[in-house]
Chains A and B, each alone.
Chain A
């Protein structure tokens, strides 16, 4: 599942960040910001217009990501 497909309020765990092109700087930046395998994330809020951008909490930090950016992150939803 993609981070961009998470419903509001849902929690998940990052599987990996995929490059959309060779040497994708946005994917690299996401990894630098902590989007790495095993990291828990939560979709806190969505923008008021077209549900974009998304507000994602990772650790203690909240990041606003556009949908196309969040779509680079594949996540695993906890099946608890």
Chain B
């Protein structure tokens, strides 16, 4: 066949194994981007056939029908028809169908065929079909459909051989385009029934193993129990595996900074820029990676295995009452470790409106970066005494802070639901696919993709903002014979002094106000920033241990409680805002999130401070 690039679009129902097939064909040679103006992912890869033909594969979003309900489906349809601006029409459409679920998938095949473009049908998961005793008369199916049919096993090396041979040959002739109207649409199911009756025999409708697993996984009691145990194990893993790696990264980057800048004079601005700006920023970016990768390792395994929709099924009712969806549970739970992977995980929420609500409330989940701040304040101000016989008051306060975060998230989601303009019903309508063994290649590629997205799209923003914060905290420098710490004379110091007027009603002194500025880099940075303001030096731990007695001595209890309340809500993490920008493609949503969180934080602190002062 002729040389020249052949453009192939991969389409199919969700859960047809399309992405696994795409991964098998293209391996790591993938480019992931977004379609302009929407958050739908565009995945493209390359592949060279044995005869030297270059194939450009486009992995289109999974879709059940062309009766576009969502942006994904609209894009799939437009691209297939060649109507998507800036996207050339594909030379060939490869429609992927799950051989074990043809009753559902063949209908979409018929819809694709009606577009009047060259189509090849890939019957995927033929191995699973054979194991289940499903017999498909492929020759007859090909004859009746009028499009070439090949068998594939996307999870097996060489499983796409037949497909590769087919696309290396002549492009099949397109069937004539047919009108797409309600009447002809209704007839599609009749055609599917006739095709199935003539070409497929199935011993039983579902896999016995799925039925058995679901009896446990979806059981009202055991199902919730299994989910709770799974979540507990994931959290254990995230905290016990990620923490040492994060510490190592932090120390490594700091050491690297010291080594690189060893030749520079210690007091120079460049020395400080490199150490406290560039390398600190680099550390701030990389330190998120272990949590992101470990959380996504589990999320991808849960997703690939088919468990994720089961978890959504179990919890949909609870989440729906708050104006969310069952699918929001895992992203929100992940946000307890860190909102960044949590927000990235909202991609599994197919409905754009539900997804946005989930993203907006995710920062309210108490992430692990708040813990150092909570620990410092609780240890300094809350007496360690026993309450109600068995509880430690410090533990009770910490627990309350977590509960306040969760309750606020549910309340905010409810308010969004109550006041949004679009009050239409958005469906759950979620397929629970067959259980599958997660495939190493697909999980690895998924992880690689997340890491790349985070480093490329989010890392740059975090790095730039860290350098900006460094600049604010360092310039202008302290004058000769300065008596206060240098930060006091800097722009950040001046801003802090001005901020004091705004923050006085919530009980923040100027030291806190100043510390809030570098603390924007990440919540836990506020602790070391306070140390800087109070002119302490040493390691973070040393600063924290000196800081406790110092603030216990100089701050009032209402101020401390107010700061705790502040940290439950405040958008005190620009990395989260950077991820929201990346995931929603909109600065408006960033402003909305930052604005409402700031408002809530101020209000909560104001109430806390004024009430605590009135009581004490």
Q: Which residues of A contact B (CB under 8 A)?
A: 20, 25-26, 28-34, 36, 39, 44-50, 52-53, 55, 57, 59-66, 68-69
Q: Are A28 and B67 in contact (CB under 8 A)?
A: yes
How does the 8 Å CB contact mask read for B91-122 relative to A, with 1 for contact and 0 for none? 00000000011111001000000000000000
A28, A30, A45, A60 — most chain B CB neighbours (10 Å): A60
Minimum C-beta distance from B129 to chain A (A):
11
Picked from B189, B221, B432, the residue with its CB within 8 Å of the CB of A62 is B432
Q: Which of B186-220 contact A (CB under 8 A)?
A: 186, 189, 202, 205-206, 214, 218-220
Q: Please report whether the interface of chain A is mostly helix, strand, loop or mixed according to DSSP.
A: mixed
| Interchain CB contact (< 8 A) of B428 among A34, A44, A65 | A65
The residues of B that contact A47 with a CB separation of less than 8 Å are: 313-314, 316-317
Task: Pick from A20, A30, A31, A46 the residue with the most CB of B within 10 Å.
Answer: A31
A31 with B186, Cβ < 8 A, contacts A50-B317, A62-B432, A63-B432 known? yes
CB-CB nearest in chain A for B98: A60
Partner of B313 from A25, A32, A53, A59 at Cβ < 8 Å = A53
A26 to B430, CA, bound (A): 12
In the bound complex, CA of A32 to CA of B430 (Å): 13
Decide if B317 touches A61 in the complex (CB within 8 Å).
no
When distances are taken between beta carbons in the complex, the residues of chain B under 8 Å from A68 are 425
What are 5 A-to-B residue pairs whose CB atoms are below 8 Å? A29-B69, A32-B67, A33-B104, A34-B107, A69-B428
A53-B428, A64-B309, A66-B428 are known; give 12 further A-B pairs, CB within 8 A.
A31-B186, A32-B107, A45-B214, A48-B220, A53-B313, A60-B101, A60-B102, A60-B205, A60-B206, A62-B214, A65-B429, A69-B428
Interface residues of B in 59-104 (CB under 8 A from A): 64-65, 67, 69, 100-104
Q: Is the CB of A59 within 8 A of B205?
A: yes
Report whether A48 and B64 are in contact in the complex, using a CB–CB cutoff of 8 Å. no
Say whether A60 contacts B104, CB under 8 Å. yes
CA distance A46 to B316 in the complex (A): 11
The interface bits of chain B over 293-317 (1 if a CB of A lies within 8 angstroms of the residue's CB, else 0) are: 0000000000000000100111111
Q: Which residues of chain A have C-beta atoms less than 8 A from B318's C-beta?
A: 49
Which parts of B208-241 form the interface with A (CB within 8 Å)?
A: 214, 218-221, 223-224
Alpha-carbon distance between A47 and B223 when the two chains are bound, in angstroms = 10
- Picked from B206, B224, B316, the residue with its CB within 8 Å of the CB of A57 is B206
Give A26 to B428 CA distance when docked, in angstroms. Answer: 10
* Smallest beta-carbon distance B563→chain A, Å: 37
Contact B431 A69 (CB under 8 A): no
B320 at interface (Cβ–Cβ under 8 A)? yes
Does B312 lie within 8 Å of A64, measured CB to CB?
A: yes
